[in-house]
Amino acid sequence: MKTSEQEESVEELGPDPSRPSDNGSRVTTAQASQSMDAEQSGSSKPRANKGNSSSLARRATGPRTPAGKERSKQNARKHGIFSKVVLLKEEPRTEFNSLLQGLREDLQPEGTLEEVLVEKLAALLWRHRRLMIAETAEIRKEVEFLDWEEEQHQEEWANTISDLTIDFPGGLMRRIENPIILQKCLDLLDDLKMRFEKRRGFDAEQDKEILIKLCGPYNKSYWRRTLLDSYIAWMSIWSLTAEERRQKEYSLPPENCVQIFLEEIAREKMWLNRYKKARASIEAEKMHLEVLRRNVPEAPELDRLLRYEASLDRSFDRTLGQLERLQRLRAGQPVLPELKVRLSG
């Protein structure tokens, strides 16, 4: 019978041939160790022994290292039921994932139900973000195209007036609050001036159309002296013969009548340009006030947005309350009974 000292000396000399060989168990342990090392390092290099690799794959039960297990815990979270459907095609998924991750870090959900409630909170906040974008778009639609809409309105009005006959009552000078018509009047005055400077005289047949467009048909009872009135007065003096001038004691030569009328055209243009400048200043201030007024959507759109916001707020408060109750129950803390208020009327 061997003593313990003899057994130790025999083990030091080498393995006992009579004992069962433990080479197989040592090889299996080494392979398992290599498998765990590969999983920790993330290496995907194929192993030399394909038979052993396939055998290990068939026996695999998931990640075994703490890091692998921690990563696998997030798999369900990355594919939550809300994150799949809450985003529109053009919305950034990275921003939603960042919001969801922030809520998870703040609320620390455990279990499927708490995780679902946190995802629902993220979806509600994301819809609130979408609501703010919709409100901004509603305001921009009313504000950013305001100038363009006003220009279209003025142009349509000017075209309607231009389509009228040349004997439009009061002429275009009565409608100069429209900037397009105002500019048309300035253009007609430039045309009339150019004709006078070219021929240095009056020609009723050529000038009649421009003057009637500007001032309308001749009307003695009109309270304001128009350019047409001046034209008729100076033309009557300009067309007198030398004998008629002596009889009426007019010492003014004909060319002076032309010059005086040109000066009246210049004064009319000066008055229109002053009006144009003053009107532009007033219109700019009115447009500024209109933009400020439209920073709040009109009643139908505003009512729709406010109802949607109230619905989101109620859902958020209710979901957050459900999550807090679950977490208090899980922590063993007292939970007050849920208070439900039903309104009837």
Residues 234 and 257 in one domain: yes
Q: Are residues 111 and 166 in the same domain?
A: no
**Residues 214 and 277 grouped into a single domain:** yes
pLDDT at 28 over 80: no
Asked, for residue 270, whether it belongs to a domain, the answer is yes
Chain centroid, CA 194 distance in Å:
50
Residue 19 resides in a domain: no
Within a domain: 69: no
The answer to whether residue 59 is domain-embedded is no
- pLDDT tens for 89-148 read 889 999 999 999 999 999 999 999 999 999 999 999 999 999 999 999 988 888 888 888
The pLDDT of residue 29: 44
pTM for this one?
A: 0.55
What's the pLDDT at 305? Answer: 93
Higher pLDDT: 56 or 306? It is: 306
pLDDT band with cut points at 50, 70 and 90 for residue 45: very low
Q: Is residue 286 part of a domain?
A: yes
Residues 268 and 189 in one domain: yes
Rounded distance between C-alpha atoms, residue 339 and residue 105, angstroms: 29
175 assigned to some structural domain: yes
Element (H, E) at 41: helix 23-41
Q: Residue 69's pLDDT band (boundaries 50, 70, 90)?
A: low
The verdict on residue 284 lying in a domain is: yes
**Helix and strand element counts for the chain (H, E):** 15, 0
275 and 223 housed in the same domain: yes
Task: 36-39: list long-range contacts, CB under 8 Å, 24+ apart.
Answer: 36/64, 36/65, 39/63, 39/64, 39/65, 39/68
Tens digit of each residue's pLDDT (9 = 90 or more) over 240-249: 888 888 888 7
267 and 168 in a single domain? The answer is: yes
168, 203: one domain: yes
What is the reported pLDDT for 44? 45
Q: Once rounded to an integer, what is the mean pLDDT over residues 208-231?
A: 81
Same domain, 203 and 120: no
- Considering the chain, what percentage of its residues have pLDDT values greater than 70? 70
CB atoms within 10 A of CB 162: 13
**37-41, 190-194, 283-287, 297-301: range with highest mean pLDDT:** 190-194
Using CA atoms, how far apart are residues 324 and 117, in angstroms rounded to an integer? 10
Asked whether residue 231 falls in the same domain as residue 109, the answer is: no
Check whether residue 107 and residue 152 sit in a common domain: no
Query: What's the token pair of residue 81?
Result: 């039921």
**Percent of the chain scoring above 90 in pLDDT:** 32
Q: Are residues 240 and 171 in the same domain?
A: yes
Domain coverage including residue 215: 148-293
Q: In this structure, what DSSP letter does residue 74 have? A: T
Is the residue at 70 inside a domain?
A: no
pLDDT 10s digits, 267-291: 999 999 999 999 999 988 988 888 8
Our count of domains for the chain comes to 2
**Based on the domain organization, do 137 and 216 belong to the same domain?**
no
